[in-house]
Amino acid sequence: MISNLKFRIAPPVTDTWQTLHTLHPRTYHENKFVYPVLSRRSQGISIGVNLNPDKVCNFDCIYCQVDRRSEAETKFVETDRLLAEIDHMLSLVSSGDLFDDEAFRMVPPERRRLNDIAFSGDGEPTTFKNFDEIIAAVADLKRRHGLADVKLVLITNASMFHKPAVERGLKLLDENQGEIWAKLEAGTDAYYQLVERTKIPFQRVLDNIAAAARVRPIVIQSLFMRINGAEPPAAEIDAFCSRLGDILASGGQIKLVQVYTVARPPAESFVSALTEGELAAIAAQVQRLGLATAVYPA
């Protein structure tokens, strides 16, 4: 029975600050590349780093909340400015001054902690040309603020892990309290193409995730949704679990599987959220592989 399984379901948020979980703007005041969010998955403050302000991504996910129909205001990453913005944001969060801001004033005391610096943003962060150099620079900033234990989180579709600069960046993450959150949301190529709409072969993503997981434990992030009112087919969830099993069989290490659904307006109107019970059922199936899971309802 699902009720006997020990997967973690994220605690509900109160109505007074729930909107902070559903609104993740990629800007903050005058910042162009760095933004704070109250993350439902990290259960605290996450400093987002947008390495793709041009909104270019090698995936075109049907659930993505990035508005790619409007022209980007910023085309290129200004490295010095990005690092200055991170420097200032680390000071704001560490001092508590962030919570004097009207947008964050309602965050309860137990969530007023800096959980991570997350490389995410408006596209796939590992497509950034100097990915390894930016990881090194941010890790140095973190140490200078006395925040060596704060995580660096890479939120990624794993499509570029085989590139030398990305391999170097992943090694730097390992050396600086880093964590990889790799997207895996399908079991079959057909469903992968339906959801991700990309020219990147599914097998490349699977191979890259497995290779990364053989070096260090990784987090799998899996967003499931209704498509045209229908939940994911049972056969697709079976195939998804088989893919997870393949990673484990190859010697890969999976520390957690995040099972979640859409919480913000998606790219396509035919996409909608699953219920908590539907997410829990998927998590229960994943748990049968011996994997830890966390469920994040909308």
Residue 267 belongs to domain with CATH number: 3.20.20.70
Q: State the number of CA atoms in the 13 A half-sphere of 159 facing the CB.
A: 18
In the chain, count of helices (H) and strands (E)?
A: 8, 11
Which among 133, 141, 150 is positioned nearest to 87, based on CA atoms? 141
Q: What is the pLDDT of residue 27?
A: 57
Q: What is the pLDDT of residue 76?
A: 85
How far is 71 from 54, CA to CA, in rounded Å? 8
Which among 216, 209, 122 is positioned nearest to 173, based on CA atoms? 216
Is the Cβ–Cβ distance between 57 and 122 less than 8 Å?
yes
What is the domain range of residue 51?
2-296
Q: What is the pLDDT of residue 7?
A: 58
Sign of the CA dihedral 69, 159, 241, 42?
negative
pLDDT tens, position by position, for the chain (298 residues)? 333 345 566 555 444 444 444 444 555 668 999 999 988 777 789 999 999 999 999 999 999 988 877 766 777 899 999 999 999 999 999 999 999 998 899 999 999 999 999 998 899 999 999 999 999 999 999 999 999 999 999 999 999 999 999 999 999 999 999 999 999 999 999 999 999 999 999 999 999 999 999 999 999 999 999 999 999 999 999 999 999 999 999 999 999 999 999 988 999 999 999 999 999 999 999 999 999 999 999 8
Is the Cβ–Cβ distance between 248 and 254 less than 8 Å?
yes
What's the domain count of the chain? Answer: 1
pTM tops 0.85: yes
